[in-house]
A = this chain, B = another copy of it.
């Protein structure tokens, strides 16, 4: 379903290798991220040195950026790709957090236009709607706005990273908690007060309305980058209004996102019953440049497959019967002499499109029927001595108990008719 939506939005499929050169990954995910990269030991005589030269994909964004830099001359000016592959992080496993997990990414390369953000948010919103989610919230912010906010609050530049870590906890520890965090991290009383006053004011605004953006606009009015960021956020909200993201976006100036490569819009999607997010993304206009030597604008979003599955399972959002291409017929084996005949019958039935298993060895018929029943195989085909003599086959519907003899030629048709019941 995810792939179908991504393709309908014009994203092309891409897969990348599980490994990247260690150098490609290190330094792209912040200090915490660096520690969580799985590193691969050098091979051969170098193994004894304990040195690592390769690493496993930590996300799909950095490998994409490497690919874009490497194949720049073969890609269209605007390159939109989706990628659904596992990534690996040496994290402590928890609910919905695994060391190997699937990311479902879309990225649009080549344009700084806010149309890109709107189209991406529309696409992931349609995925979530199609999966049956209606209560998801898209938190939207901009890295430049965050910087301006701290600047205008009087947090000195060298402490911005510390302040961001503190502010990022606002929805978890509240205003008082963040006050302590900021103070502990060496932010002075005046800057702490100004920051928190801003967030207190913000809390009085409708989450979905324009009031939050207006307060942000006023607070960063003296800062050019901040003003640009607010304009861009406004554009994204307006444009996304015409997409499936309509009604889901909340401006959230406390959203920081951990990864260090973001440069503009940042976004995260959450539902009330999951700590952490279902996915996140943002604009990273400098990352490809780190490989290519010239800047290429880019923006992307990543949905976490296992997170979706955890919530959908808990909410019982999956249909009772997920289509499972299970075995439809078990062909029994009477004795050693009849084994070849059973395999031939299986071949004939498979040629008619039936999914057929063969009991692997001669055994009491009752035991074979019991096995079919335990495995929930709906139909059993029996080629015993009598059937072989008559060149026919007995078929038994395990659900109704019906049994009848049919010619070999009619066996598949008879079974297919039963399966339709």
Query: A residues engaging B (CB < 8 A)?
Result: 7-10, 12, 17-19, 35-36, 38-41, 43-44, 47-52, 54, 56, 76-78, 80, 86, 88, 90, 99-100, 108, 110-116, 118-119, 122, 126, 238-239, 241-244, 325-327, 333, 339-344, 346-347, 350, 353-361, 371, 374-375
Contacts and interface: CB of A to CB of B under 8 A. Distances in A.
A340 B51 contact: no
Q: Is the interface of A mostly helix, strand, loop or mixed?
A: mixed
A8 B355 contact: yes
A175 B10 CA distance: 59
Number of chain copies forming the complex: 2
B354 A8 contact: yes
Given A78-B360, A115-B333, A350-B9, A242 B341 contact: yes
Contacts of A35: 43-44
Contact of A242 (B54, B118, B340): B340
Contacts of A9: 350, 355-357
A391 B241 CA distance: 18
What are the nearest 9 A-B pairs in CB distance?
A50-B50, A10-B357, A111-B360, A113-B361, A242-B344, A43-B90, A39-B41, A242-B343, A7-B325
A244 B350 CA distance: 11
A118 B48 CA distance: 45
Contact of A10 (B38, B40, B49, B327): B327
A50 B8 CA distance: 47
A340 B241 contact: yes
